[in-house]
């Protein structure tokens, strides 16, 4: 039988007004935002009406996108959609952990707020930036980065697309080297060098914080960014994966390829934008890739999945 994977979006797709239609259309989605507001007052207002500039601040981006991710997923679950596998890209992994039962809804939102704070603090001290490298192989990108002391390959997104992170001047030099090698480099609109050693302090703080956070075995097969493998049930291993993904690469292409090998033919992106949908199309040609971020896409997804129509 064909299997379904639910994917949770990461940073970069935020926009003013995100989540409002889900809030209005689904009681389950509304409950996600209401819980967030009870822990971090004003979160839903930020999602629905804050400027793009405010939403692009890491301290705001992560809790807001987490809410939209989880709201979209819970709206699907409310309609009887049950995925066979789940995974989240970067901060999306926290929403995936919550959806799969590793964290309670309260713990998940509180944790993403902590993660945002730790990473924002690290960025304030280290600076840095990121860029997407296109049209080169992983080996070529790894080799180019090895020529710099503070630039690292960090997100293996799909064939021909790898994100790099590091010190801004060296990053600019790397982008020139990429062009000379026949590739293309596109600066990313993020505030720090995520998933690199620039985030070491944030990962350390997260590891310390997690010692007091209860975790449970996932109730759904859940992939880890750190390993591109499934989470186990051991608490120490779960905590290790959550903390270490902050300063280690996201192995997204490998996750998608393994899902396909396990029989997944339908991939649903839950959250703002269609970034992950695009990565699915490039990594698993022929797979059904749909996204849910508002009332129209929710209705379309339910019709497609339950009605069997595109």
Same domain, 144 and 88: no
SS3 84: coil
CATH code: domain of residue 132: 3.30.70.250
Q: Residue 232: how many CA atoms within 13 Å on its side-chain side?
A: 8
Same domain, 146 and 235: no
**Does residue 192 sit within a domain?**
no
Model confidence at 37, pLDDT cuts 50, 70, 90, reads very high
From residue 60, alpha-carbon distances to 26, 139, 143, 225, 277 in Å are: 23, 35, 35, 22, 24
First to last CA, the chain: 18
Count the Cβ atoms, other than its own, within 10 Å of residue 308: 7
Helix (H) or strand (E) holding 259: helix 252-261
For 261-272, how does the pLDDT look when each residue is reduced to its tens digit (9 = 90+)? 999 999 999 999
Q: Is 240 a catalytic residue?
A: no
Among residues 90, 100, 110, 191, the one annotated as catalytic is 90
Domain end marker among 169, 187, 205: 187
Same domain, 113 and 133: no
Same domain, 96 and 202: yes
Same domain, 36 and 175: no
Domain end marker among 138, 166, 187: 187
**Which pTM does this prediction carry?**
0.95
Strands 184-187 and 264-270: unpaired
Count the Cβ atoms, other than its own, within 10 Å of residue 194: 28
Q: Say what the pLDDT of residue 293 is.
A: 97
Same domain, 115 and 76: yes
Range of the domain at 226: 3-125+197-307
Q: Is 195 a catalytic residue?
A: yes
For 102-147, how does the pLDDT look when each residue is reduced to its tens digit (9 = 90+)? 999 999 999 999 999 999 999 999 989 999 999 999 999 999 999 9
Same domain, 180 and 228: no
Q: What's the rounded Cα separation, in Å, for the pair 130 and 103? A: 30
The predicted model gives 10-17 an average pLDDT of 91
Same domain, 79 and 206: yes
The DSSP 8-state label assigned to residue 102 in this structure reads S
Q: Say what the pLDDT of residue 173 is.
A: 97
Domain end marker among 141, 161, 187: 187
Among residues 9, 195, 209, 291, the one annotated as catalytic is 195
CATH code: domain of residue 271: 3.40.366.10
Same domain, 179 and 208: no
SS3 65: helix
* Listed range (112-121, 171-180, 188-197) with the worst mean pLDDT: 188-197
User: 271 with 11: CB under 8 angstroms?
Assistant: no
For residue 267, list its beta bridge partners: 5, 289
Sorted by sequence, the CB contacts under 8 Å of residue 60 that are 6+ apart come out as 46, 50, 54, 116
Q: Say what the pLDDT of residue 2 is.
A: 83
Given a cut of 90, whether residue 190 has pLDDT beyond it is no
Given a cut of 60, whether residue 292 has pLDDT beyond it is yes
Same domain, 82 and 163: no
């Amino acid at each position: 039988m064909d299997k379904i994977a639910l994917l949770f979006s990461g940073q970069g797709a935020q926009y003013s007004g995100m989540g409002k239609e889900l809030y209005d259309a689904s009681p389950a989605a509304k409950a996600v935002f209401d819980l967030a507001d009870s822990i971090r007052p004003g979160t839903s207002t930020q999602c629905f009406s804050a400027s793009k500039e405010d939403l692009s601040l890491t301290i705001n981006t992560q809790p807001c996108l987490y809410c939209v991710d989880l709201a979209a997923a819970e709206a699907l679950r409310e309609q009887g959609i049950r995925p066979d596998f789940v995974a989240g890209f970067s901060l999306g992994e926290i929403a995936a952990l919550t959806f799969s039962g590793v964290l309670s809804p309260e713990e998940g939102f509180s944790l993403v707020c902590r993660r945002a704070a730790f990473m924002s603090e690290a960025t304030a001290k280290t600076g840095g930036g990121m860029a997407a490298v296109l049209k080169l192989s992983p080996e070529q990108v790894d080799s180019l980065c090895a020529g710099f002391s503070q630039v690292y390959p960090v997100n293996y997104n799909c064939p021909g697309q790898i994100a790099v992170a590091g010190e801004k001047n060296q990053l600019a030099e790397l982008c020139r080297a990429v062009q000379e090698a026949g590739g293309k480099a596109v600066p990313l609109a993020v505030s720090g060098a995520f998933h690199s050693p620039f985030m070491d302090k944030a990962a350390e703080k997260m590891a310390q914080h997690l010692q007091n956070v209860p975790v449970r075995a996932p109730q759904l097969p859940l992939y880890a960014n750190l390993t591109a493998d499934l989470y186990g049930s051991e608490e120490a291993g779960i905590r290790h994966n959550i903390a270490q993904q902050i300063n280690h690469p996201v192995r997204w292409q490998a996750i998608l390829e393994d899902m396909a090998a396990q029989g997944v033919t339908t991939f649903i992106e839950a959250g703002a934008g269609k970034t992950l949908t695009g990565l699915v199309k490039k990594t698993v040609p022929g797979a059904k890739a749909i996204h849910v971020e508002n009332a129209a896409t929710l209705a379309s997804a339910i019709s497609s999945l339950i009605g069997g129509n595109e």
